[in-house]
Amino acid sequence: MAVAQPRPRPSNPRILVEHRSAAAVEDTPVVFEIGDAAVYYGAFRAVRDVSLQIHEKQITAFIGPSGCGKTTMLRALNRMHDTTPGAKVTGKLLYHGVDLYGPQVSAVEVRRRIGMVFQKPNPFPKSIYDNVSFGPRVNGIRDRAKLDELVETSLRSAALWDEVKDRLRTSALGLSGGQQQRLCIARTIAVEPEVVLMDEPCSALDPIATARIEELMRQLKSQFTIVIVTHNMQQAARVSDRTAFFTAELDSKNDQRTGILVEYDATAKMFSNPADERTENYITGRFG
């Protein structure tokens, strides 16, 4: 396996960004500035040496084989690891220049601004309406008319309104898998976040539902910064502006696999002319 070779220094994304080719994407403001980040579960280091910048109103994809730490890195961006006992995040993680793990920063405030859609659709066992209005409600919106309006706009943005407008009071668990996932997206954008993190949002869905979600992502891009983890390379190529490729590396000392960031660049460049041999092997299917 390619990863067994002596490891070159992890690519420095800033250099790559400066040397961008013609396929480069627009340089919108930086939302996340990540430097030498690592995540530990107890003594186990799940991912390390991650340095990259995520830009506003673009879709950034994290790709790579299983166990490469892409989901772990994603969850570090809205402090979901706070709920995992023993998990620890180190390194620089700035959100609009503010340290996400700063001493006074509240995980609740962070997650209100940085929403998340999970791998498996996970609507609450409540009605469709209550699912979407949950976030606004905990954030203090009590006004009935305002809530109705928010629910409608969110469901419209998630391209679900027409399918559910006549049964808003029925259980969300009665929806199909694809509808449930779009409901989860509607629920996330109802709190009007700035960033939406998506953790393999289509892996539990069939191709038709997947296509709808991808279409939705392209629409949402105008309003939100999106970071998506996917194991589906075609999906990354189809929807994202920038792609980060992660892989797992075996530490010969303690026999542990730790994820590393191999390469980060504009998606067009990553898929046509990657700088790193490992990226090329993975993209062309010669990996492992």
Partner 1 sequence: MIAASDLHAKPSWRSTRSKLMTGLMIAAVAILAIPLIAVLYAVVSRGAGVAFDAFPAFFTKDIPAISRREGPGMGPAILGTLLVTGAATVIAVPLGVLGAVYLHEYGGTRKFARAVRFMAMVMTGVPSIVMGLFIYVMWTMRFGYSAFGGALALACLMLPVVIGSTEQMLRLVPTQLREAAYALGASKSRTILTVVLPAALPGIVSGALLAVARAAGETAPLLFAVGAAKAFNPHLFTEANTALSLQIFNSDLAFPAAESRAWGAALTLVALTFLMTITARVFTSRFALKR
Partner 2 sequence: MQLFELRGRSHHADKAFGWITIAAAGLVLVILGLVAASMTQRALPVLEKMGPDLFTSSKWSAAEDHYGLLAFLFGTLYTAAIALVLAVPVSLGVALFITQVAPRWLKKPMVYLIDLCAVVPSVVWGLWGVLVLSQHFGLGRSFLTAGIILAIMITPIITSLAREVIETTPLTDKEAALALGATRWEMICATVLPHSKGGLVGAVMLGLGRAMGETIAAALVIGSALGQITANPFAPGNSMPAVIANEWGEADDLHKSALIALAVTLFALTIVVNLLATWIVQRGRRHA
Nearer to partner 1, 116 or 183 (CB): 116
Compute φ and ψ for 13, nearest 5 degrees. -60, -30
Binding-site partner at residue 97 among partner 2, partner 1, none, CB < 5 to 8 Å by type:
partner 1
Provide the 8-state DSSP code for 278.
H
Q: How far apart are CA 169 and CA 237, in angstroms?
A: 38
Compute φ and ψ for 51, nearest 5 degrees. -135, 120
Torsion of CA 167, 172, 176, 180, to 10 degrees: 120
Give the binding range for partner 2 (CB under 8 A) out of 21-29, 106-114, 208-216, 255-263.
Answer: 106-114
Window 30 to 69, contacts with partner 2 (CB under 8 A):
none
Q: How far apart are CA 92 and CA 96, in angstroms?
A: 12
Identify the residue whose tokens are 């919108």.
28
In the list 1, 98, 138, 250, the residue contacting partner 2 (rule: CB under 8 A) is 138
Q: How far apart are CA 143 and CA 286, in angstroms?
A: 56
Binding-site partner at residue 259 among partner 2, partner 1, none, CB < 5 to 8 Å by type:
none
- Residue of 117, 122, 134, 137 whose CA lies nearest to 230: 117
Please say whether the beta carbons of 197 and 114 come within 8 A.
yes
Minimum distance from CB of 109 to partner 1 (Å)?
5
Nearer to partner 2, 117 or 261 (CB): 117
Residue 100, interface with partner 2 (CB under 8 A)?
no
Binding-site partner at residue 170 among partner 2, partner 1, none, CB < 5 to 8 Å by type:
none
Query: Is the four-CA dihedral 220, 221, 226, 230 of positive or negative sign?
Result: positive
Binding-site partner at residue 252 among partner 2, partner 1, none, CB < 5 to 8 Å by type:
none
Q: How far apart are CA 252 and CA 235, in angstroms?
A: 33
Nearer to partner 2, 185 or 266 (CB): 185
Binding-site partner at residue 98 among partner 1, partner 2, none, CB < 5 to 8 Å by type:
partner 1
Residue 98, interface with partner 2 (CB under 8 A)?
no
Compute φ and ψ for 8, nearest 5 degrees. -70, 160
Binding-site partner at residue 124 among partner 2, partner 1, none, CB < 5 to 8 Å by type:
partner 2
Nearer to partner 2, 23 or 107 (CB): 107
Q: How far apart are CA 115 and CA 139, in angstroms?
A: 13
Minimum distance from CB of 140 to partner 1 (Å)?
7
Measured at the CA of 8, the angle between CA 4 and CA 12, to 5 degrees, comes to: 135
In the list 39, 116, 155, 202, the residue contacting partner 2 (rule: CB under 8 A) is 116
State the angle between helix axes of 128-138 and 177-189 in degrees (0 to 180), rounded to the nearest 10: 20
Give the binding range for partner 2 (CB under 8 A) out of 66-74, 77-85, 207-215, 268-276.
Answer: 77-85
Q: State the residues that interact with partner 1 by CB under 8 A.
A: 29, 95-98, 100, 102, 104-106, 108-110, 113, 138, 140
67 class by beta-carbon count within 10 Å (0-12 exposed, 13-18 middle, 19+ buried): middle
Minimum distance from CB of 113 to partner 1 (Å)?
7
Footprint of partner 2 on this chain (CB under 8 A)? Answer: 78, 80, 83, 85-86, 107-109, 111-113, 115-116, 118, 120, 122-126, 134-135, 138-139, 184, 187-188, 191, 197
